Amino acid sequence: MLRILSNLTYITLQLAVSTSIIFVTNITLFTAVNNITVDAFRCHNCYKWNVFRVWIYTPEPLSKRFCTTRAGKTLIIQRTQELASKSSLIVQLRYDNFKEYHSNLLRNSLNNKFNTPQLTKLDPKSVDSSANANDASNISYTNDACHIANKGLGEKKLVLKTIKNTLFEIAMANAGYNVEKYSISLSNMFLFILDCNMVPQIMNFLFKFRNGNKFFRKNLTITNAWFSNIMLTPERVEQLRYLPQLKEAYCKISGVIRLIYANIPRAINNIPRRLSRALRLYRDTLNPSAVSDTNYIGGGE
């Protein structure tokens, strides 16, 4: 009798566990995916790293005459807005006590790691105040406060430029980003990453670079980020380092779900066989001498 009850219990538990696993797995997977904004997986293959472009903008007041003209302000807003619109990820970095050496080290480290393409630069003194603001294909502005772009350090691939806070705020607002005024009034850098495929690799390198240097660990802080136009807290920014691993886990969980769905019909088809086995054991227990195996439901094993 105990064996009969155990068989029936096993059948019930098998169905219940299969259904609960599917339900819980779907809920957990849905929550995890929403927490890290994993929509990019549907469009990009995160295992193939493509060449990307990184631009860093430092929103500090400008002193050049060109930036006080209407053409200069329009040009800066248009270029920053275009850059923000094309970016897959924008990372906000707050820095303190930065000198030229530290800015060079950060820029050159990114260049050496990812081989970012060179950005065209034109001296602001050679830019006519009546220049066409729409001609932004070969003009960029560099302030004296951020003079590392003018130093003779060989071919410059990553340019650190300064932008007035109000112009930067207007450009980000026009691009659809919500940037708080007090957040950009301090010493901040904004790292623009255009290629979504490079997000995990860049963030992983950025965290390792910061944690591996005492000065940067103390004076460089990742405050916020915008991924697919969604603002992320510093805790969620760090999760971007594990996007490939999360994608792999997502694929494995999806495979398990498909396997469960494939095995459910076979488990249901086994129910009559297990019931017949339980009935046979029950009848054998009542009258083992008068019952033959061929008279039971299912016809035996």
Query: Which pLDDT value is given to residue 136?
Result: 29
Mean pLDDT to the nearest integer, 42-48: 30
Give the chain's mean pLDDT.
60
CA diameter of the chain:
110
Considering 4-13, 127-136, 194-203, the range whose residues carry the highest mean pLDDT is 194-203
Whether the pLDDT of residue 208 is over 50: the answer is yes
Percent over 70 (pLDDT), the chain: 40
Considering 52-61, 115-124, 278-287, the range whose residues carry the highest mean pLDDT is 278-287
DSSP bridge partners of 225: 91, 232
Query: Which pLDDT value is given to residue 218?
Result: 87
Tens of pLDDT, residue by residue over 210-225, are: 888 888 888 888 888 8
Distance CA(106)–CA(19), nearest Å, equals: 52
Distance CA(271)–CA(268), nearest Å, equals: 5
Query: Which pLDDT value is given to residue 83?
Result: 80
Domain 54-227 of CATH type 3.30.70.1730: yes
Contact 175, 77 (CB under 8 A): no
How is the chain split into domains, by residue range? 2-34+248-295, 54-227
3-state secondary structure of 1: coil
Tens of pLDDT, residue by residue over 209-265, are: 888 888 888 888 888 888 767 778 777 877 777 765 555 555 555 566 666 666 666
Whether the pLDDT of residue 207 is over 80: the answer is yes
Parallel, antiparallel or unpaired: strands 54-58 and 160-162 = parallel
Considering 22-36, 45-59, 208-222, 253-267, the range whose residues carry the highest mean pLDDT is 208-222
Alpha-carbon distances, residue 212 vs 56, 218, 224, 240 (angstroms): 21, 11, 21, 19
Alpha-carbon distances, residue 219 vs 110, 204, 215, 222, 252 (angstroms): 18, 19, 6, 10, 40
Mean pLDDT to the nearest integer, 60-73: 65
* Start-end of H helices in 176-242: 181-184, 199-211, 214-219, 234-239
By CB atoms closer than 10 A (0-12, 13-18, 19+), residue 69 is middle
Quick one: tokens of 221?
Answer: 């802080």
Of 139-153, 158-172, 178-192, which range is least confident? 139-153
Whether the pLDDT of residue 182 is over 50: the answer is yes
Confidence of residue 27 (pLDDT cuts 50, 70, 90): very low
